[in-house]
Amino acid sequence: MPLLRLLLIILVLFNLLALAAGQGWLGTSETRGEPERLTNQINPDAIILKAARPEPARASPAALEPEPEAKPTPAALIPAPVPAPNSGVPDKPELRAEATPAPPPELARDPTPDIPVCYAYTLPQPQADELEKLFRAASRSINVSRETVEPANTWWVRIPPFDSRQRAEKRMRELKELGLTDLFVVREPGPNQNAISLGLFRTESSARQHLADLTSKRVRDADVIPRNPAIQRLEVRGNDAIVKPASERIGADRPILNRSACPSL
């Protein structure tokens, strides 16, 4: 009896072990099929797939080489800073110390100071007339005055010189046909050559009267001039920088002119 009881107890223990093994109480067992595998999964709806992480970039051989030691750059090779483009906003005014105004410069002096000068010319009246015209034409700032030093002593009624002797003689024949007898053609070389002389008079009034008589006889090309012209003194006054060059220029063409200083300025 005791042996049977022991065998029965052993048989019950084997059955219990077989039951526990079948239910998986004793550990994980092999998969018995798809339905059983699905039941063994733990909350399949909560599974989330994550993106694969990128592999770290591999360093190239050139990057692994040591960098060369930096050398100082010469100042001449450093590029100038590029100015920032104008954004339309005015820059802030730079504060500067107020400059002290420079004293006004002295008035520039006239390079040609007004130095009065006076030149005198003593010459016959016809030359004095010509010289006065030349000085007045040279500059309006030149003042010209003259006075008679020696009056004329004779006055000549004449017809001005012709350009040829033949024309002078032809005109003389025409005058003789009008009844004139006291006349002749000047033959001496000079400014009056080929002029026709109509008479000499001691006074200007007598010469003018004779000219009026000739005009009444239709002689209209005659005139009256001093035979021995009056001697006059021509005084030229003005700034030395203007009068002196004009005097030298006029005197260069007329070497007979005698220039002297005026008795008083």
Residues 162 and 208 in one domain: yes
Residues 186 and 235 in one domain: no
DSSP alpha helix (H) spans, 2-159: 2-22, 34-40, 61-64, 125-138
Lowest-pLDDT range of 1-10, 150-159, 184-193: 1-10
Question: Is 136 domain-assigned?
Answer: yes
Question: Is 173 domain-assigned?
Answer: yes
Question: Is 248 domain-assigned?
Answer: yes
- 202 to each of 124, 152, 180, 185, 239, how far by Cα in Å? 18, 9, 21, 21, 42
Residues 203 and 257 in one domain: no
Q: Which among 17-26, 30-39, 167-176 has the top mean pLDDT?
A: 167-176
Question: Is 83 domain-assigned?
Answer: no
Residues 207 and 182 in one domain: yes
Question: Is 175 domain-assigned?
Answer: yes
The total of structural domains in the chain comes to 2
pLDDT, residue 161, reads 95
Strand-pair category, 184-185 with 143-150: unpaired
Residues 128 and 184 in one domain: no
Domain with 191 in it: 155-226
Question: Is 246 domain-assigned?
Answer: yes
Residues 242 and 146 in one domain: yes
Contact criterion met (CB below 8 Å) for 152 and 230: yes
Residues 147 and 235 in one domain: yes
Residues 243 and 201 in one domain: no
Residue 198 gets which letter from DSSP? Answer: E
Residues 189 and 203 in one domain: yes
pLDDT band at 46 (very low <50, low <70, confident <90, very high): low
pLDDT, residue 79, reads 53
For the segment 69-96, the average pLDDT, to the nearest whole number, is 51
Question: Is 192 domain-assigned?
Answer: yes
For the segment 40-60, the average pLDDT, to the nearest whole number, is 57
CATH number at residue 135: 3.30.70.1710
Q: What percent of the chain has pLDDT over 90?
A: 25
Q: What tens digit of pLDDT does each residue of 228-247 get?
A: 888 888 899 988 888 888 88
